[in-house]
Structure 1
Amino acid sequence: MLPIRQVAVNLRQLIPVFNSSAQDWAIDARLLRWLTFLWLFIGLVVLFSASYPSADAEFGDGMYYFKRQIISVILGLVAFNLVVNFPLRSVLEIADWFVILLLGVIFITLIPGVGTTTNGATRWIALGPFPLQPSELIKPFLVLQGARIFG
């Protein structure tokens, strides 16, 4: 069984801001990482300022969209950090399976009653209170497939 301190250190590595392994990266990669965090922060500020009045009018909570986006950001950063710390060969091996799986999920959105129509387009699947757009999830795996094919 792992000591509490070691578990806490391992959990801290899931959060990119606290991941100390990034200090070993090249300067370009570290700058790109911080630029990504800067754009993420700017996007959150813009979302907050633009959506507060409409969320307050629709849901009685001006922070409704902002809270949902924060949850998505946290999940995305943890998933990103898991992928970054995973061996590249393993990620490339499973990328083709994820492309096939996510293509199937994209086609599932076309089934009446399963896909959710938003602004006239049926591209979403509702998972409880969270909508999921499979076409967004497939993008990183398509990039990995391109790297695998052309590499």
Structure 2
Amino acid sequence: SAQRTAMSFARSSVRGRAVFVDPVTLALVLAILLFGLIMLTSASISIAGRDTGNPFYFIERQLIAVLIGVAGGIAAFCLKCERLERLSPALLVMATLLLLAVLVPGLGERVNGGRRWLHLAGFSFQISDLARILVLIYVASYAARRQDELADSF
């Protein structure tokens, strides 16, 4: 049955370790994603057709971003926490370098007077969004390493 297949998928293993994907949460996330894509298409189809000649211009770009996000989410899901802990200092350095990269002429893009964007592979994105996640990983790793010291100070 469909429910049995979903549960066997939900209880599959990643590299020999048991994982559980809640099917209700997964269904809700997919429903919200689909709703957002439908709303984007509905709201932008005439504007995209008029401005670009392709009525699906915005939805195509959004679908590429969704695929990149899903691939990143699966990659993050497959990473062990211990590996993230080991990589956290390098991730902090990477975040710092990326934040500095926007200041390099030709890499950083000026938008509305601020130089906060990087333009790579046809996409522009704010490095601060990625840096925020990388700093969060480092702070979580730091807190895990210094758990006893932090517990004593509070």
Instruction: Note whether the superposition's TM-score is higher than 0.5.
Output: yes
Question: How many residues in Structure 1 have an aligned counterpart in Structure 2?
Answer: 132
Give the aligned partner of residue 53 of structure 1.
46
CA distance in 2, matches of 1:44, 1:92: 35
Is the Cα contact below 8 Å between 1:116 and 1:123 reproduced in 2?
A: yes
Deviation of 1:119 (Å): 3.1
CA distance in 2, matches of 1:81, 1:51: 29
Give the aligned partner of residue 95 of structure 1.
88
Change (3 A) 1:95 1:35: farther
Change (3 A) 1:148 1:124: same
Partner deviation per Cα, 1:55-92 (whole Å, 9 max, x = no partner)? 22221112111111111111211121122112111122
Larger Rg: 2
Change (3 A) 1:121 1:62: farther
| Structure 1 segments unaligned to the other structure (5+ residues) | 1-17
CA distance in 1, matches of 2:134, 2:107: 24
| Structure 2 segments unaligned to the other structure (5+ residues) | 1-5, 12-18, 145-154
TM-score (normalised: structure 1): 0.72
Give the aligned partner of residue 136 of structure 2.
143
Change (3 A) 1:122 1:92: same
Identical positions, percent: 24
Higher relative contact order (CA 8 A, sep 6+): 1
Alignment partner of 1:73 is 2:66: yes
Change (3 A) 1:30 1:71: same
Alignment partner of 1:22 is 2:10: yes
